[in-house]
Amino acid sequence: MTPPSILTSVANPHVRKARALHQGKHRRESGLALAEGVKVVTELLDLPGRVRELFWCSTVYERPGGTALLEKAAAAGVQLTGVSTPVLARIADTRTPQGVVAVVALTPAPLMQVVTGTGDLLVLAGVQDPGNVGTLMRSAEAAGACGVIIDRNCADPTGFKAVRAAAASVFRLPWGVWDAPADSLADYLKSESFTVCVAQVDGDTSPADLPAGVRAAWVMGAEGQGVPLELAAAADRAIRIPMAPPVDSLNVAVAGSLLMFGRRLG
């Protein structure tokens, strides 16, 4: 599978376009993002037409599944671009790349598509850490959520750190952006027949207590500040996560995962 030539310069226009996707501005303008790692890219190849190009170097052959990945990409008609190991290191974000970086088409969804389905909904209102954003999106998919709504104050879910934490979930699970004031978000969620739920230390309901027919919108707020006050005030349910003292709070990604799975497993 050796290509006729290997790109060896980061100044190559082809490589520069890929490197530009490190910046959110270019991801938004192009509708493309980068994903790296053999396992993640192999999963993404199961999404027809989503992987637009695959940059790879010789070290991919040293990884379990690396050869099969290249064969799968070639069979799917994905453009394969061979690069030197130093060039791949500049396209990738990790310190020890696995020899493959994919250019993947983003598909942010209209909100109507995000809220359609039978599962609960995850709402990220100002979550700042991209790793937490990605972890929450991965948990939402695993818990059977219909989708994710991200407000305009939330970290970009398409950056490297978020994509690593979400794995392929950010490309599979429908998600959309709420670009309006927080106080109108609760009204929208209720109009779509969701019960708006926020986690509070003194909450009076556990996730497992929600009736089976209720579709919950799990609202997770910024690390430290929590859910915006106007959104918390409009919530239908205050949900508690029982904790042994003296602990009185959890990482937002842990809390959100417990809430979604607390209902699913309760």
Exposed, middle or buried by CB within 10 Å (0-12, 13-18, 19+), for 141? buried
Q: Using CA atoms, how far apart are residues 143 and 259, in angstroms rounded to an integer? A: 10
The identity of residue 62, as a single letter, is E
Query: Which segments within 129-193 are labelled E, that is strand?
Result: 147-151, 175-178
At 247, the amino acid letter reads V
What's the pLDDT score for residue 266?
61
pLDDT at 262: 83
The rounded distance, in Å, linking the Cα atoms of 139 and 254 is 9
* pLDDT (0 to 100) of residue 3: 47
pTM, rounded to two decimals: 0.91
Provide CB contacts within 8 A for 95, sequence distance 6+. Answer: none
> Measuring CA to CA, how many Å separate 56 from each of 41, 85, 91, 169?
11, 8, 10, 22
Q: Which two tokens stand for residue 154?
A: 């939330």
Alpha-carbon distance of 99 to 168, in angstroms, equals 18
Q: Which helix (DSSP H) or strand (DSSP E) does residue 221 occupy? A: strand 215-221
pLDDT of residue 1: 45
Per-residue pLDDT of the chain (266 residues; tens, 9 = 90+): 444 578 999 999 989 999 999 999 999 999 999 999 999 999 999 999 999 999 999 999 999 999 999 999 999 999 999 999 999 999 999 888 899 999 999 988 899 999 988 899 999 999 999 999 999 999 999 999 999 999 999 999 999 999 999 989 999 999 999 988 888 999 999 999 999 999 887 788 888 888 888 999 999 999 888 888 899 899 999 998 888 889 888 999 999 999 999 877 76
Residue 142: the pLDDT is: 96
Q: Which two tokens stand for residue 116?
A: 């359609």
Note the pLDDT of residue 2: 45
Tally of CA atoms within 13 A in the half-sphere of 212 that contains its CB: 1
- With both helix axes pointing from N to C terminus, report the angle between 130-142 and 252-265 in degrees, rounded to the nearest 10: 10
Tell me the domains of the chain and their CATH numbers. Answer: 13-105 (3.30.1330.30), 111-265 (3.40.1280.10)
Q: According to the model, what pLDDT value does residue 234 have?
A: 92
